[in-house]
Chains A and B, each alone.
Chain A
Amino acid sequence: MALSEELVAPWAEWQESYQDGQRLLEAGTYALTEGAVAAGLGVFAGYPITPATDIAEYMSKRLPQIDGYYLQAEDELAGMHMCAGASLGGQKAMTATSGPGYTLMHDAYGWAIVNEIPVVVVDAMRVGPVSGITGAPGQGEFYVSRYCSHGGNIETIVLSPNSVQETFWLTIDAFNLAERFRTVVTILTDQVVADMFEDLFLPGDYGALSDIVVPRRHNLTMPFFPADSSEIDLPPNVIGEGTGVCVSPYTHTEEGYDIEEMEAQWSQTFRLINKIRHHKDEILRYEAVGLDDAEVIAVAYGATARTVKTAVLEARRQGVKAGFLRLISLWPFPDELFERDQPYLVCELNYDGQLVREVMRAAPDKNRVHFMGKSGEMHTVAEVCEALEGVAKHQKMPQQPYIWTEVR
């Protein structure tokens, strides 16, 4: 029986539709830049930081060629505010950073989210905390990307690619979701996927992507901020068209006026949370291999998913019925993918355990959710194979050096 394989993402079809183009050997940062250009990027504003620096450099070269604008901000906080301003002015906007800069953006994050401003933010994660080791991969911003503003009362959309090619398509997808949901979409990539060179197909004519690219539209009428509504696909608000829109950090009315009444606060919250929760199925993206008969399911995302997938296939060759689940949409968290009452092995690049906590919450039996954390360096195929065998055959994680298994 053939192993079941499933990719649930819009680019599963896009890759079939677009065959004319060029094949390159390029980096994830290059694919990200081209994906943004293909999606109609108008303004990139950011502050160089390893390992996202190459995105800034590519953008500074590429954007003037397409009459777009590269703004080098004084810091990441300014960079994301510039993006929000440019987006309010009618341009698709993006910024890119790594963990230290991502933390500085939270002021702008909240402002863009509450005002329903489409912006795409890239975080190429490295090991931390703080500066950590600049050239080593990490996955420490899983929760930070969910709670990227203070005060609660928001849902966020976060996507994570695991290859150079997927980075290209996923970036277009991120811009589409930002437009459709009128919000910030975070691309949570990592040092490995951002820096590595791989085979990359680029369509020859980006204009031919108009069937898949959601264009920027302008909302010219009230309500600017529909209360108690979870409707999506509303055109974003625009400043400069004389609509009289008001954009602010305050709890707002439908016009955008600041208001200090709880009913308005609740109505705003209903919208910010439920426009995403009520349309989770529009955001769900994942890859699954061999789940049908799996006796243990390995879970990973981003760079980690690359060796973990290889390990799952290797374990199968060794007689362990392993399955593979790669999350592409990380937030809103895909609880529905964890309904199988099987042991899960969650592999991620941190020792504290982040993704694993959500899997524990979503899975039927948290005692059968196992953690395999590494820090700063990739899981090896041998390590993951050993762990899969241990969980499948002995219901426990084997002891291995430099691997953390404790979550509580």
Chain B
Amino acid sequence: MNKLAAKYLRPELVPTKACQGCAIGAIENWLLQAIDEMELKQEDVIFGAGIGCVGRQTFATWGGDNFGATHGRALAVATGLKVARPDKKILLVVGDGDAASIGASHLIHAARRNVGVTVICEDNMGYESTGGQFSPTTPAGYVTNSSPYGMAEQSFDPCDVVIAAGATFVAETTAVQWRQTVKVVKLAMQNDGFSFVHIRFPCVQNFGASALGSRDPLVSMEWIYDHTKGKTDDGAETDFAWETGIKHDASNSRPEYSKVLRDLNARVRADMAAGS
């Protein structure tokens, strides 16, 4: 077991239960690196997870307090929890289904309220624990098990949505960007407000087989690498390229939601005490 896992995770749940070649385990390790570099302790962080591959494979791995919500609702739970425990950092690890589809309204409104949580959206580009159906982040035209003729809908980038809704820190990386991911996760967790980090990696098993024609993790990694750069090794442009990096940084520019409520209470109670 590596040192970070030994320090922060539950030994009985290491190594990850994720499929071989899946980025879920690696990304969790990067989150631990960010937490470690911030010198946070287990008791400083509440770890929340969603449903699907990302939720199931990360739930209860964190050595401190954990929750796994029903599908899409981690942000709603976290909103209530943050109000009750404003002293804790809440880290949510969810998938593209949780964040961009079934829980999209909670994502929008948590961003609007500037709830003090960091959302890590691990986007495996479809519904993979149910066998590989398309999601709102599957690129248009790609073949999945529920888009055998190519995904007919237009996809969207949840980063655009949360920026429009009022998120105070938004960044995007991919599973081939170790250092960048650690760096933006640290910035995200330093924002006392709503932070969103979108990390893309196609599912090796399902997306790999349906869209890329191979379950070889190296094929997936190369495909991610190419689409992160926008070019293949031979210099040809890819069909699209992800725009990675910090997309919006207004960290600590407006008060966090639970602080807004505490300040409201202080004002009301001061007025009451003054007899007005």
Q: Interface residues, chain A, CB within 8 Å of chain B?
A: 42-43, 45, 64-65, 67-69, 71, 73-75, 77-78, 81-91, 93, 107-108, 110-111, 239-250, 256-258
Look across to chain B and name the residue whose beta carbon is closest to the beta carbon of A88: B81
What are 19 A-B contacts with C-beta separation under 8 Å? A64-B265, A65-B269, A71-B79, A71-B261, A75-B105, A82-B77, A85-B83, A89-B84, A91-B83, A91-B84, A242-B43, A243-B65, A244-B63, A245-B66, A246-B67, A248-B49, A248-B68, A249-B69, A257-B13
Q: Interface residues, chain B, CB within 8 Å of chain A?
A: 13, 42-43, 46, 49, 51, 56, 59-60, 63-70, 73, 76-85, 87-88, 105-106, 108-109, 258, 261, 264-265, 268-269, 272
Most B Cβ at <10 Å: residue of A67, A85, A111, A244? A85
A256-B77 in contact given A65-B269, A78-B109, A246-B60 (Cβ < 8 Å) = no
In the bound complex, CA of A107 to CA of B56 (Å):
18
Residues of B within 8 A of A242 (CB): 42-43, 64-65
Q: Is the CB of B80 within 8 A of A241?
A: no
Q: Is the CB of B84 within 8 A of A42?
A: yes
Residues of A within 8 A of B49 (CB): 248
Q: Is the CB of A248 within 8 A of B60?
A: yes
**Interface class of chain B by DSSP:** helix
Look across to chain A and name the residue whose beta carbon is closest to the beta carbon of B261: A69
Q: Is the CB of B76 within 8 A of A82?
A: yes
In the bound complex, CA of A243 to CA of B258 (Å):
23
Q: Is the CB of A71 within 8 A of B80?
A: yes
In the bound complex, CA of A111 to CA of B70 (Å):
7
In the bound complex, CA of A150 to CA of B194 (Å):
32
CB distance from A199 to the nearest CB of B (A): 27
CB distance from B103 to the nearest CB of A (A): 9
**Interface class of chain A by DSSP:** mixed
In the bound complex, CA of A65 to CA of B73 (Å):
29
A78-B65 in contact given A42-B84, A69-B83, A89-B81 (Cβ < 8 Å) = no
Most B Cβ at <10 Å: residue of A42, A43, A81, A249? A81
Q: Is the CB of B64 within 8 A of A244?
A: yes
A81-B73 in contact given A64-B265, A239-B46, A250-B68 (Cβ < 8 Å) = yes
Q: Which of A75, A85, A241 contacts B79 (CB 8 A)?
A: A85
Q: Is the CB of A240 within 8 A of B80?
A: no
In the bound complex, CA of A86 to CA of B264 (Å):
18
Q: Which of A78, A87, A257 contacts B73 (CB 8 A)?
A: A78
In the bound complex, CA of A249 to CA of B42 (Å):
23
Residues of B within 8 A of A257 (CB): 13, 60
Residues of B within 8 A of A243 (CB): 65
Residues of A within 8 A of B258 (CB): 69
9 A-B pairs closest in CB distance = A89-B84, A85-B80, A81-B76, A82-B80, A248-B68, A86-B80, A85-B81, A85-B77, A240-B85
CB distance from B267 to the nearest CB of A (A): 8
Residues of A within 8 A of B65 (CB): 239-246
Besides A74-B106, A81-B79, 20 other A-B contacts (C-beta < 8 A):
A73-B109, A74-B109, A75-B105, A78-B106, A85-B76, A85-B77, A85-B81, A85-B82, A85-B83, A86-B83, A89-B81, A239-B46, A240-B87, A242-B43, A244-B65, A244-B66, A248-B49, A257-B13, A257-B60, A258-B60
In the bound complex, CA of A86 to CA of B82 (Å):
8
Residues of A within 8 A of B264 (CB): 64
